[in-house]
Chain A
Amino acid sequence: MTARFDEVIHAPHRLRICAMLAAAEQVEFSVLREGLGVADSVLSKQLKVLVDADYVQLAKPTGQGGKVRTWASMTRLGRAAFKDHLAALQEMVAVVEQPTGSRG
């Protein structure tokens, strides 16, 4: 795993979307919306950025009663990018938390 800061992922909403998707195989649109506490349009916009970056893919299967539900999942590329981004964040926190004396 290599630490690599990713501007596409780092935006607060997108980071939380990626965190939720990384913890499961697929997450439904309404669960993401509730988790983020945002409007449909805001979530759609953020998902589009992630889809365009090939980090997330959307599926719209017809559920029970013919109701269409949108499911989001992370691509392999997205999972790798998210993992690298987390490593970069952890490195930053580690640097900040280092004792003053050890910085030279």
Chain B
Amino acid sequence: MENNDTYSAHEALQDVRQAQTHVDDTVAGAGSPAWQMAACGWLLGLTTCTFPMEASVLKYVILLGALALILAISITAVRREQAAGVQSSMRRELRRRPGAMVALIALSVMSAAAMPIIDLTGSPEWYAVPVGIVQAVGFTVLALLLSASQRRGSTR
């Protein structure tokens, strides 16, 4: 039987902090999908920037390879969290860290803006901006969808 009379507000708040630290440590140990996505977005942008080459099969391979890496790292992060027994939500993680949300969006926009889509598709130059925006939004939606599917998978 728990004795609530001797359980002070101060003790209670300390317990809350300790319990939340325990969960935060477990989530951090497993790797947050949001941070993994942000890292991959930067990787994608860097790949695109450092290989400004003419449209070729190699170019498609590099870009698709970077996209595959993003998905692989994200799925790995979700599985590691499931194995660790604590599932963070990207939405919740981002809400708790507004800076991370801004960084993710900024990186997505930068990655998209740096991508020489025009060379790949042969589209006119004005097409680059809407494509960049669509990519930025798509990248963020992908991250949220992965997070949602993670939750759905565990409640089936």
In the complex, the chain A residue whose C-beta lies closest to that of B11 is A12
| Docked complex Cα distance between A29 and B154 (Å) | 13
User: Which range contains the number of B residues in contact with the other chain?
Assistant: 20 to 34
| Docked complex Cα distance between A10 and B17 (Å) | 14
Known: A10-B4, A16-B16, A28-B85. A23 touches B23 (CB 8 A): yes
| Docked complex Cα distance between A89 and B13 (Å) | 7
Known: A25-B92, A96-B9. A31 touches B16 (CB 8 A): no
| Docked complex Cα distance between A61 and B86 (Å) | 14
Known: A19-B20, A23-B20, A25-B92. A12 touches B2 (CB 8 A): yes
Distance between A17 CB and nearest chain B CB, rounded to angstroms: 8
Determine if A24 and B86 form an interchain contact, defined as CB atoms under 8 angstroms apart: yes
Which residues of B are found within 8 Å of A90, using beta-carbon distances? 9, 13
Q: Give the residues from 61 to 110 in chain B that come closer than 8 angstroms, CB to CB, to chain A.
A: 82, 84-89, 92
| Docked complex Cα distance between A58 and B82 (Å) | 15
Count A interface residues, CB 8 Å.
32
Determine if B9 and A16 form an interchain contact, defined as CB atoms under 8 angstroms apart: no
Instruction: State whether the Cβ of A77 lies closer than 8 Å to any Cβ in chain B.
Output: no
In the complex, the chain A residue whose C-beta lies closest to that of B147 is A25
Interface residues in chain B, defined as those with a beta carbon under 8 Å from any beta carbon in chain A: 2, 4, 7, 9-10, 12-13, 15-20, 22-24, 26-27, 82, 84-89, 92, 151, 153-156
